[in-house]
């Protein structure tokens, strides 16, 4: 069935360093991927989305490229900030209105 895999449960980094959060997916549909960010006690908010193969999409310094050949949609940022500490979820539109989420990656940025 349709699924999303995020391999890192926790990523800890020092401010200013680059980060990549992994996301791979499986689907029988044409893929439409999302990255959501959830800060403490807040609702998950959309960070990025894409359905176009090999096209980089960017928002708030984060970027990701959907690669259908490797079924991946990794999230990257060149220089993390303290305010980037949050939960990050990769999600897949799985036919119709259904969206499935990965298990999430907690990013902790230290000074």
Least gap, CB of 41 to other proteins (angstroms): 7
Q: Is 32 in the site for other proteins (CB under 8 A)?
A: yes
SS3 94: coil
| Residue number, 34 or 73, with CB nearest to other proteins | 34
Query: What burial class does residue 44 get, using C-beta atoms within 10 Å of its C-beta: 0-12 exposed, 13-18 middle, 19+ buried?
Result: middle
Considering only 98, 107, 108, 109, the residue that binds other proteins (CB under 8 A) is 98
The answer for 95, left when phi > 0, alpha when psi is -120 to 50, beta otherwise, is left
Considering only 64, 80, 93, 109, the residue that binds other proteins (CB under 8 A) is 93
Q: Is 103 in the site for other proteins (CB under 8 A)?
A: yes
**CA distance linking residue 14 with residue 29, whole number of Å:** 38
**CA distance linking residue 69 with residue 53, whole number of Å:** 9
| Residue number, 78 or 103, with CB nearest to other proteins | 103
Residues in the site for other proteins, rule: CB under 8 A?
A: 32, 34, 36, 41-46, 49, 87, 89, 91, 93, 96-101, 103-104, 106
């Amino acid at each position: 069935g349709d699924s999303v895999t995020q391999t890192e449960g926790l990523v800890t980094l020092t401010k200013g360093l680059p980060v990549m959060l992994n996301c791979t997916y499986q689907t029988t549909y044409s893929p439409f991927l999302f990255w959501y960010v959830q800060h403490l006690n807040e609702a998950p908010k959309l960070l990025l989305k894409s359905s176009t193969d090999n096209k980089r999409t960017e928002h708030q310094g984060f970027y990701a490229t959907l690669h259908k050949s490797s079924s991946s949609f990794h999230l990257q940022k060149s220089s993390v900030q303290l305010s980037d500490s949050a939960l990050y979820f990769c999600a897949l539109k799985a036919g119709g209105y259904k969206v499935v989420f990965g298990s999430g990656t907690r990013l902790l940025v230290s000074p």
